Amino acid sequence: MAMLADAVHDVAAASARLKGSAGHQERRRRVFANFLRFVRDAGTLTRSIPEIPPSMVHAYAAHCVVQGMAPGHLENIFSAIRVVFRAMGKDIGRTCSNRQLGLPHRSRKGTRRAQSPGEIEALIERAKRIDQGLALLIPLARNLGLRRKEALMCGKDLQMWYDALTSGKTVLEVLRGCKGDRQRQVEILEDRRAQTIEDITAALAYARAHMSTENCLSAIVW
């Protein structure tokens, strides 16, 4: 148990040295910790992680495939494992590529389609029966191209966006909830400017009536 705990601690330290958000570092740590438990149960855990043989990575890959994990999830798991090994001084890329591990190929061919305007309106109507604030998030996310977390956390920026749009700006700054904590910009479609201003105005009114300006829409769970 102590050996496993020490190994997980070493992995956390190595993950922290790598680039990425705190959440990304924590996911890498969890992924590698699961791998280390597998290695321990197989009786091959050593005090030095780089001494773990590549054959154990292959064995773990076979174990994960048998568990029925999705191809994309498998790719993420073993990408994280390779990254942590590399950070600890052992490059297993030549012996433990996805192909060599026998991971199923993930198809990038999309199967989803964009929702029609009618479907979006129906979604908004259903949302209204649950929560008015939820219904306000949907058109905001659609017109501004916001991800879910960005929409949830945009309350503090609604006034800034309103001022920018009404002054004629075509690009808005998305400051909160961005993937990897990297702020980004969204471009406003001119034919949706008036509707976007209307949606932001409604969201501002709701936020001021129902929540503190400190939290605004960010307290609504979508």
In a domain, 176, yes or no: yes
In a domain, 111, yes or no: no
Of 58, 75, 101, which residue is a domain's last? 101
What is the reported pLDDT for 214?
42
97 and 132 belong to one structural domain: no
148 is in which domain, residue-wise?
Answer: 117-219
In a domain, 108, yes or no: no
The domain total for the chain is 2
pLDDT 10s digits, 49-71: 888 999 999 999 999 998 888 88
What is the reported pLDDT for 91?
92
What is the reported pLDDT for 109?
64
pLDDT 10s digits, 183-218: 899 998 888 899 999 999 998 888 888 765 444 444
Total-model pTM: 0.54
What is the reported pLDDT for 110?
58
Contacts of 169 (CB under 8 A, 6+ apart): 188
What is the reported pLDDT for 221?
37
121 and 89 belong to one structural domain: no
Contact 130, 158 (CB under 8 A): no
Regions of the chain where pLDDT drops below 50 = 213-222
Of 66, 101, 136, which residue is a domain's last? 101
Which residue has 């009404």 as its token pair? 166
Rounded-to-integer distance, Cα 165 and Cα 195, Å: 11
185 and 213 belong to one structural domain: yes
Of 52, 74, 101, which residue is a domain's last? 101
